[in-house]
């Protein structure tokens, strides 16, 4: 992970006055990887991206790109290009001049330059748009022009600062797919900043979840979703049911936990190191819980509760089940495959079931 890292962020801190925006962050990003920085606003993800671009410099630590330390390299000398949140399309230039903006130093003949721009317009699926003025473009088109303007310079790294944030939902989903395709086509490293967890899960090879200037967890989308390392990550990505518990026994790789509401559970220890008597949390995703009117048979855990509330969403339903000894109802998301259980007109008994592997053991906060 260290030798083949293409971008290496090493123990970087960033202070704005007394405020610490970045707190000892180290990240390695591989060549050709689609890497996302995910977090709510103010978590430091944009600051980190701007440090990669060179608009901010680390207060301490070092950033290496392609093996070169970057702290003395100004933005215009870095092998990276950025797509800005506002797109930053030059309003006084037409589309062609916008895309060719960075080519000035290469001193190309006009024909060659035009050819490269036309190639780019082809790539971003806007052929023939070269003579449009910047203010004649829609949001999605601006976003693509901003991409083309960066990609024409063949950067080693493309930085994207919430590039889909300004688009409506439909266009967003379309652009997500196109962005992913584009990244595979051009094969360069993408560093993508977003606050939208779904977007990060869809696009990324790996994601760093950030909060208050720190990286909480860095993993693949599946890893983050299935094996969150803390309650904060678990609740930031998707929904999660949490149960307080106490470790009642450790036996090799398996752990016994007395969890409030669920009773005694046996789980795999996995990454979390625990000892008997530790306060822990057991978590499970709403869609990993089975729900049925009658007592389910077979392996795994089950418990009876009271169905309090349901929301029918077509493809699936959300149910809220109250268990004895718990304040908050448990959320269940059920696929309406064949026999959707009847929604709750009034409270009635119901059975919940789960596989032991779906349970996640988290250290207590």
Partner 1 sequence: MSSESYIRRPNRPLQVYAIVFLIVLYVPVLFIPLFSFNDSIYVRFPLEGFTVKWYVELFHREAVWNAFMNSVKVGAVVSVLSTALGIFGAKAITRYRFPGRGPLVGFIMLPLVVPLIIFGVALLVLFSQMGVPLSLYTVTIGHMIVCLPFSIATLLPRFEGFDPSLEEASADLGENAWWTFWRVTLPMVFPGVIASLMLCFTVSFDEFIMAFFLTGTQPTLPMYIWGQLRFPQEFPSVLALSSFIIAASFAIVFVGLWINRGAHVSTIKGD
Site residues, partner 1 (CB under 8 A):
53-55, 74-77, 80-82, 84-92, 101-102, 104-105, 134-135, 149-150, 153
Of 103 and 258, which CB lies nearer to partner 1 in the complex structure?
A: 103
Are β-strands 316-322 and 301-312 bridged in parallel, bridged antiparallel, or unpaired? antiparallel
Lay out the sheet containing 263-268: strands in order across. 263-268, 254-259, 241-251, 279-284, 360-363
Nearest approach, Cβ of 319 to partner 1 (angstroms)?
Answer: 44
CB closer to partner 1, 86 vs 254: 86
Instruction: Give Cα 112 to chain centroid, integer Å.
Output: 39
> By the 8 A CB rule, do 6 and 156 touch?
yes
Shortest Cβ 108–partner 1 spacing (Å): 14
**Which of 51, 31, 13 is closest to 206 using CA atoms?**
31
**Contact predicate 350/304, CB 8 Å:** yes
Comparing CA positions, the residue from 35, 17, 36 lying closest to residue 195 is 36
Half-sphere exposure of 32 (CA within 13 A, CB side): 6
Q: Closest approach of Cβ 146 to partner 1, in Å?
A: 8
Residues in the chain, how many?
365
Crossing angle (nearest 10°) for helices 110-123 and 139-151: 130
User: Closest distance between partner 1 and the C-beta of residue 121, in Å?
Assistant: 17
* Complex with partner 1: residue 80 or 218, whichever CB lies closer: 80
The nearest distance, CB 107 to partner 1, in angstroms, is 13
- Nearer to partner 1 by Cβ, of 75 and 290: the residue is 75
Least separation in angstroms between CB 50 and partner 1: 9
Which is closer to partner 1, CB of 45 or CB of 149? 149
For 126, which DSSP code? -
100/284 with CB nearer partner 1: 100
26 or 86, CB closer to partner 1?
86
| Distance, CA of 38 to CA of 49 (rounded, Å) | 11
Query: Of the two residues 100 and 274, which places its CB atom closer to partner 1 in the complex?
Result: 100
Helix ranges (H only) for 25-138 are: 45-53, 95-99, 110-123
d(CA 318, CA 314): 10
Task: For the CB of residue 25, give the shortest distance to partner 1 in the complex, in Å.
Answer: 22
Name the nearest CA neighbour of 103 among 87, 116, 90: 116
Return the residue matching tokens 């409030």: 260
Closer Cβ to partner 1, 46 or 217, answer by number: 46
CB of 118 to partner 1, least distance (A): 19
What is d(CA 251, CA 270) in angstroms, rounded to the nearest whole number?
13
Q: Shortest distance, CB of residue 329 to partner 1, whole angstroms? A: 44
Those residues with Cβ within 8 angstroms of residue 131's Cβ, 6 or more apart along the chain or in another chain = 94, 95, 96
């Amino acid at each position: 992970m260290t030798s083949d890292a293409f971008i290496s962020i090493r123990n970087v801190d960033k202070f704005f006055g007394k405020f610490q925006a970045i707190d000892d962050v180290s990240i390695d990003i591989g060549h050709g990887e689609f890497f996302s920085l995910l977090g709510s606003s103010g978590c430091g993800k944009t600051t980190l991206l701007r440090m990669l671009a060179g608009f901010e410099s680390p207060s301490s630590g070092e950033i290496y790109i392609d093996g070169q330390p970057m702290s003395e390299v100004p933005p215009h000398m870095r092998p990276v290009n950025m797509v800005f949140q506002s797109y930053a399309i030059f309003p006084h230039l037409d589309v062609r001049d916008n895309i060719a903006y960075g080519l000035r130093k290469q001193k190309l003949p006009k024909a060659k330059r035009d050819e490269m721009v036309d190639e780019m317009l082809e790539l971003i699926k806007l052929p023939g748009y070269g003579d449009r003025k910047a203010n004649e473009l829609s949001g999605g088109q601006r976003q693509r022009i901003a991409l083309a303007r960066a990609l024409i310079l063949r950067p080693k790294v493309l930085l994207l600062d919430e590039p889909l944030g300004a688009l409506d939902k439909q266009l967003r989903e379309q652009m997500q797919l196109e962005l992913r395709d584009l990244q595979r086509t051009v094969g360069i490293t993408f560093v993508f900043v977003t606050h939208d967890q779904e977007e990060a899960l869809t696009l990324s090879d790996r994601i760093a979840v950030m909060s208050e200037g720190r990286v909480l967890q860095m993993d693949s989308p599946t890893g983050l979703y299935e094996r969150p390392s803390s309650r904060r990550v678990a609740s930031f990505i998707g929904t999660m049911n949490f149960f307080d518990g106490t470790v009642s026994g450790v036996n090799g790789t398996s752990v016994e936990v007395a969890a409030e509401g669920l009773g005694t559970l046996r789980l795999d220890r996995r990454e979390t190191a625990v000892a008997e008597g530790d306060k822990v949390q057991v978590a499970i995703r709403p869609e990993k819980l089975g729900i049925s009117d009658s007592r389910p048979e077979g392996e795994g855990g089950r418990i009876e509760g009271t169905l309090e509330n349901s929301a029918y969403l077509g493809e699936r339903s959300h149910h809220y089940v109250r268990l004895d000894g718990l304040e908050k109802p448990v959320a269940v998301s059920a696929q309406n495959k064949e026999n959707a259980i009847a929604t709750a007109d009034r409270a009635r008994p119901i059975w919940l079931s789960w596989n032991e592997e779906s349970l996640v053991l988290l250290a207590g906060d």
